[in-house]
Amino acid sequence: MDEVTEGISTAEAYIESLRGRALKVYLFGELVADIVEHPMIRPSINAVAETFQLALQEPELATAISPFTGKRVNRFLHIAQKREDVVLQNKMQRRLGQLTGTCFQRCVGMDAFNALYSTTFEIDACYHTNYHTRFRKFIAYTQNHNFVIGGAMTDVKGDRSLAPHQQADPDLFVHITRRTSEGVYITGAKAHQTGCLNSHWLLVMPTMRLTDNDRNYAIVGAIPVDAKGITYIYGRQSCDTRSMETGDIDSGNAHYGGQEAMVIFEEVFIPNELIFMDGEYEFASMLVERFTCYHRRSYVCKSGVGDVLIGAAATIAEFNGADKASHIKDKLVEMTHLNETIYATGIAASYQSKPTLSGTYLADDMLANVCKHHVTRLPYEISRLAQDLAGGLMVTLPSEQDFRSETVGHLLEKYLKGRADVPTEHRMRILRLIENMTLGRNAVGYLTESMHGAGSPQAQRIQIARQMQLDFKKQLAKELAGIKKRQKDMLIKEISDYFGRVFDTNV
């Protein structure tokens, strides 16, 4: 194996790197003393740790040679230098979805890295700034330490009918509040920030197209997760407190989970060397669109999670003794068809990547949006079919405490039995896993993220509409229908008639 970049190299080392930080995190109205040991937060940390484990177990899939350090680095920190790099991102994402059954939280940072790399290059070409040079140094720094990068793009937005500078409260979009010779200070909030507490650095970015009046909102910079002035408020997830109970059956997926939080910036400092856009408002839309292009095809991760759900559905059918029924097989085929459709469109977008001016490769925007639009629909149908195969017991199953009870546990052992050769506990665990993925804590990572992550459905429809090429397609139809040919013939006849008349006159 090639020389490995120094820094965090194992899952255990990653978890240790999150300890002892001065984070201000609130959950249930209380300050969290240690996120690593908090039972509601720890599963999300475990999911990120799996990205380090995969890099060691499957280096050709989950690592790449950095053009900045010359060493092998985690693929989540790599800038795509060729089409195969973009494709391997998708293959890695599907594998991690299979291993965790949830959101593993590093795709936002990977996609932000690649989008910002090409955007800073083009800002510099236009304005002769040095953002790209700064950013390359930051990339090399993060690669050498093997840090986790979180993206911070989604502002809370306030009144959606108003631009950032028009808001009654200017803090509803992150913006620069003051400047010094050393850097800038920002205030505002970012919502739905995936894996932010589990990251080492945050990349703060604008969330939408901006105008000249929004210059102070056109700020991009890197900030340590534990920087002074940042407050995190942890997001609730369905059935999340089950992870705080005794036992591990009712949580469904006790080891892995996702993480979302609100990030509030109150006069947070960004030094000049970590600023990668400052006032170049016309490039905000380029950054957002390139990020969403990468990120929307990144949702092939849901096909990996879908693999787990299909496996759980097939298992519960087997445990129930119904796996040989034709309609069961047909539903599993349908689930697989839908799941592979997500993967196919995402990986097609990656295979059709093209180089930007900076040299980094960008996925096909049309297919990336088609992929994400599928994701806003198909996981819901896959989940419906999984619930169909699971049966009503998925949501009426008594608790693990009852199952372990000396008083009634033996009754549940007897009456919750499916096939005689399958332990009752195994049946309960699979039912809880399906509940977890379609209704519980990890339904956020599989369903809610599928709907709203990287933009809600209308955002994809807008991008698809922009790239429909209707004029080109209409012309194809006209040519095959003979319309263009007849138009050409009519034109030739008109020209001939014209010259005929001229010649006749001259004669």
Residues 6+ apart with CB under 8 A from 116: 135, 203, 205, 220, 276, 287, 291
More confident residue, 258 or 502: 258
Smallest Cα–Cα separation from 275: which of 228, 218, 230, 227?
218
Smallest Cα–Cα separation from 352: which of 367, 340, 330?
367
Percent share of the chain, pLDDT over 90: 94
The pair of structure tokens assigned to 482 is: 């003979």
Q: Where are the alpha helices (DSSP H) in 254-408?
A: 284-297, 301-319, 326-351, 365-375, 378-390, 393-396, 400-404
Q: Provide the strand spans (E) within 34-116.
A: 63-65, 72-74
What b/e string do you get for 135-167 counting C-beta neighbours within 10 Å, with b at 16 or more? bbebbbbbbbbbbbbbbbbbbbebeeeeebbeb
Cβ neighbours of 116 (radius 10 Å) = 28
Q: What's the pLDDT score for residue 90?
A: 98
Average confidence (pLDDT) over 413-437: 98
Residue 55 clears pLDDT 90, i.e. is over it: yes
Cα(491)–Cα(487) distance, integer angstroms:
6
pLDDT band at 7 (very low <50, low <70, confident <90, very high): confident
Q: What's the pLDDT score for residue 485?
A: 64
Residue 4 clears pLDDT 90, i.e. is over it: no
Residues 6+ apart with CB under 8 A from 29: none
pLDDT band at 229 (very low <50, low <70, confident <90, very high): very high
- Provide Rg for the chain, Cα atoms: 27
Q: Supply the angle between the helices 42-57 and 83-100 in degrees, to the nearest 10.
A: 130
Q: What's the pLDDT score for residue 450?
A: 94
Average confidence (pLDDT) over 389-412: 98
Residues 6+ apart with CB under 8 A from 242: 250, 251, 252, 440, 441
Report whether 133 belongs to an annotated binding site: no
Q: What's the pLDDT score for residue 484?
A: 72
Count of positions (residues) in the chain: 507
Smallest Cα–Cα separation from 162: which of 204, 205, 213, 218?
213
pLDDT band at 494 (very low <50, low <70, confident <90, very high): low
Residue 505 clears pLDDT 50, i.e. is over it: no
Cα(296)–Cα(375) distance, integer angstroms:
9
Residue 168 clears pLDDT 70, i.e. is over it: yes
Q: Is 128 helix (H, G, I), strand (E, B) or coil?
A: coil
Residue 385 clears pLDDT 60, i.e. is over it: yes
Average confidence (pLDDT) over 471-500: 76
Q: Which residues are marked as active site?
A: 103, 107, 194, 260, 295, 299, 301, 449
* pTM for the whole structure: 0.93
